[in-house]
Amino acid sequence: MRWILLLCLGLSLPALADLDYALKPRLIAADTWLLEGSTDNFAKANGGNIVNTAFIVTEAGVVVIDTGPSRRYGEALRQAIAQVTPRPVIQVLITHHHPDHALGNQAFKDVPIGALADTTRLLHEQGDSLAENLYRMVGDWMRGTEVVLPTQALQPGVLSVGQHDLRLLALTGHTGADLAILDQRTGVLFTGDLVFYQRALTTPHSPGLAAWQADLDTLQALPWNLIVPGHGPVAADAQPFAQMRDYLGWLDQLLRDGAANGSDMAELIRSPIPERFAAINLSRYELTRSVSHLYPRYERAQMQRLDTRY
Amino acid sequence: MNWRLSCILACWLPLAAHAVEVDPVPSVMWAFYHKQLLADAPFVFDARVKLLAPPFAEDARQVPLEIDARAFKGHVVRILAWAELNPLPKIVDFQPKEGVLPWLALRIRIEQATPLRAAVLTDDGIWHVGSALIDAAGGGCTAPSVVRSQPGWEEHLGEVLGGRYPRGEFSRVRVQVAHPMDNGLVSGIPEFFINHGQLRGQDDQVLAELELFPAVSENPNLAFDIEAPGPTRLVLRDNSGNEFDAAIP
């Protein structure tokens, strides 16, 4: 029996030790470090590291933007920061309530965690079920992960940390409460998930595609010189905005035409995806999801009242 | 498999290249449902019955499902659909008559990842079984009703939204009926669902009979393809005896 236990232990320890995010911060602008995730879906192979997180090393301390998908990620992020600078983390900013951006909060309990008030409300309402779903998709990487709510309600305006004036914008297109951050010192624009680049956008809590398009106008008009999307590579040109607009416009038209032609949801999910979106990872998967999220509104807008009861 | 079935299959195979003997989806329940729902009648797994669902359920309470048996147009007697691992597996029993294509779209609830089946009985007495597999985070059958959380939902019971969409040879008729479709699995709320429907054409002749089960999502969405000229009437009844009537011009 003892031997069996030892054998089990011997076999399982290396398996546990393998769960290492191996986060490698990359300097993308002065004082500004990016941890770029893959553009894949949540999977046991990637531990949910499909998201971009970042930190800014200011004179006053470190500002962290999003904490990642799990406790393990949050802890790894904290260690990665310590590799780069001895300065303490003094502020966390959460861009929105989705689990890949906010479930690393446990590792930052000793720091003010700022978010828009509605982000905190949404995380309070949905956090547990969002986390449960990640446990299902990502497995053991999630062990010990629990929802930790933000402790500080952010207002739009300028937040000054050290020499960095961070302009905070309260937008809505992706989840109803989306924080974008422009570092006015470096010109780095952290868009959160208002911008996906080379990775299909997700719509589970979007108030509507028109609101999202309007947010893109707001963001693009800012004096940025580097875009850090929520998912996908950074860009120094406006290509991410162009791709977002193109994709959102196509999706909107697809749903509009579908409703006008009386297409069923199951048919729309199989719609051909234009060749120009071929480089966008997971577009078929996300189309399936987006049709489920958004199509009912398009359908209802187009249908007539038919009952003869009244 | 008994010898009679084998003979029937042997006769059929040369005709039906799409028919396969091997179950196309991993199922632990096929034999049970074959007996329970199809009374052990002769069947073939048949790719010509298209059961089209997304590979995963984004919303387990509203999973789109399309059943396409147009390959057997003119020979379809009945279409029976179910979700094998649902607590209440049966979805729909559809009997299209002259003038209605053997095609149906609707939305369903699923409780967990499950094989889905659409069995199509043709006039030669064989069930042609279309299959699909869907993944899900689950809980669609036991989630609290969205309809019931809206104050005054009773006032809207039986309201029908919809339309007719010309498609050349036929027209698509879609409806969405306001109804909670309670399946009895949510605590303290008994079964309350639309269980019967009839499509009627000109002069009130019956175009299709429809039996619905509480695996159908709340506010049921239904779509039919109809060759017969309009107007079309849809008459629905729930298990409390309420009747709902919609006229699709």
* Range of the structural domain that residue B68 is part of: 47-248
Percent of chain A with pLDDT over 90: 92
Where residue B1 falls among pLDDT bands split at 50, 70, 90?
Answer: very low
Size of interface A-B (CB pairs under 8 A): 89
DSSP string over A156-183? SEEEEETTEEEEEEEE-TTTS-EEEEEE
First to last CA, chain B: 49
- Determine, yes or no, domain membership for A44: yes
- Determine, yes or no, domain membership for B135: yes
More confident site: B148 or B81: B81
- Determine, yes or no, domain membership for B127: yes
Closest Cβ opposite residue A264 in set B64, B164, B167: B64
pLDDT digits (tens, 9 = 90+) for B178-194: 999 999 998 899 999 99
Determine the residue of chain B that is closest to A310 in CA distance: B159
Q: Where would I find the beta strands (DSSP E) of A203-302?
A: 226-231
Q: Where would I find the beta strands (DSSP E) of A117-225?
A: 152-154, 157-161, 164-171, 178-183, 188-196
Reported ipTM: the value is 0.89
The domain spanning residue A220 has which CATH number? 3.60.15.10
Closest Cβ opposite residue A265 in set B64, B172, B246: B64
Two tokens at A215? 């947010």
Closest Cβ opposite residue B244 in set A300, A304, A307: A307
The enclosing H or E element of A127 equals helix A117-138
- Hey, is the C-beta of A293 within 8 angstroms of any chain B C-beta? yes
Q: How many domains does chain B have?
A: 1
- Determine, yes or no, domain membership for B223: yes
The domain spanning residue B186 has which CATH number? 2.60.40.10
Contact A27, A15 (CB under 8 A): no
Share the mean pLDDT of chain B. 92
> How far does B172 lie from chain A, in Å, by closest CA?
7
From the list A298, A208, A306, the residue with the least C-alpha distance to B178 is A306
Specify the amino acid at residue B227. E
**Best mutation target, B108, B155, B174, B175, to test chain A (most A CBs within 10 A):** B174
Q: B187-194, long-range: CB within 8 Å, 24+ apart, which pairs? A: B189/B145, B189/B148, B191/B239, B192/B238, B192/B239, B192/B240, B193/B238, B193/B239, B194/B220, B194/B236, B194/B237, B194/B238, B194/B239, B194/B244
pLDDT digits (tens, 9 = 90+) for A142-174: 999 999 999 999 999 999 999 999 999 999 999
- Determine, yes or no, domain membership for A102: yes
Calpha distance B177→A200 (Å, rounded): 33
Closest Cβ opposite residue B244 in set A270, A289, A309: A309
Two tokens at B73? 């147009």
Calpha distance A88→B105 (Å, rounded): 58
- Determine, yes or no, domain membership for B23: no
Give chain A positions within 8 Å (CB) of B174: 262, 264, 299, 303
* Range of the structural domain that residue A185 is part of: 20-238
- Determine, yes or no, domain membership for A268: no
Which residues of B lie inside 8 Å of A (Cβ-Cβ)?
A: 52-56, 58-59, 62, 64-66, 105, 107, 137, 158-165, 167, 172, 174-176, 221, 223, 234, 244-248
- Hey, is the C-beta of A83 within 8 angstroms of any chain B C-beta? no
Q: How many domains does chain A have?
A: 1
pLDDT digits (tens, 9 = 90+) for B78-94: 999 999 999 999 999 99
Q: Which of residues 193-222 of A touch B (CB under 8 A)?
A: 204
- Determine, yes or no, domain membership for A92: yes
- Determine, yes or no, domain membership for A270: no
> How far does B160 lie from chain A, in Å, by closest CA?
5
- Determine, yes or no, domain membership for A94: yes
> How far does B8 lie from chain A, in Å, by closest CA?
34
- Determine, yes or no, domain membership for A293: no
Pairwise CB contact (< 8 Å): A261 & B165: yes
- Hey, is the C-beta of A242 within 8 angstroms of any chain B C-beta? no
pLDDT digits (tens, 9 = 90+) for A259-280: 999 999 999 999 999 999 988 9
Q: Give Cα B90 to chain centroid, integer Å.
A: 8
- Hey, is the C-beta of A305 within 8 angstroms of any chain B C-beta? yes
List phi, psi (to 5°) of A208.
Answer: 150, 155
Pairwise CB contact (< 8 Å): B66 & A266: yes
**What's the alpha-carbon Rg for chain A, to the nearest Å?**
21
Pairwise CB contact (< 8 Å): B246 & A308: yes
The mean pLDDT of B5-26, rounded to a whole number, is 63
Calpha distance A109→A42 (Å, rounded): 25
- Determine, yes or no, domain membership for B226: yes
- Determine, yes or no, domain membership for B131: yes
What CA–CA distances, in Å, run from A261 to A253, B101, B173, B224?
12, 18, 11, 13
Closest Cβ opposite residue A289 in set B58, B167, B223: B58
**Res A212 pLDDT > 60:** yes
Q: Which residues, 6+ apart, have CB-to-CB distance to B188 below 8 Å?
A: none
pLDDT at position A22 is 94
Determine the residue of chain B that is closest to A262 in CA distance: B165
> How far does B55 lie from chain A, in Å, by closest CA?
9
Give chain B positions within 8 Å (CB) of A292: 54, 58-59, 62, 64
pLDDT digits (tens, 9 = 90+) for A51-98: 999 999 999 999 999 999 999 999 999 999 999 999 999 999 999 999
Two tokens at A220? 């693009």
- Determine, yes or no, domain membership for A244: no
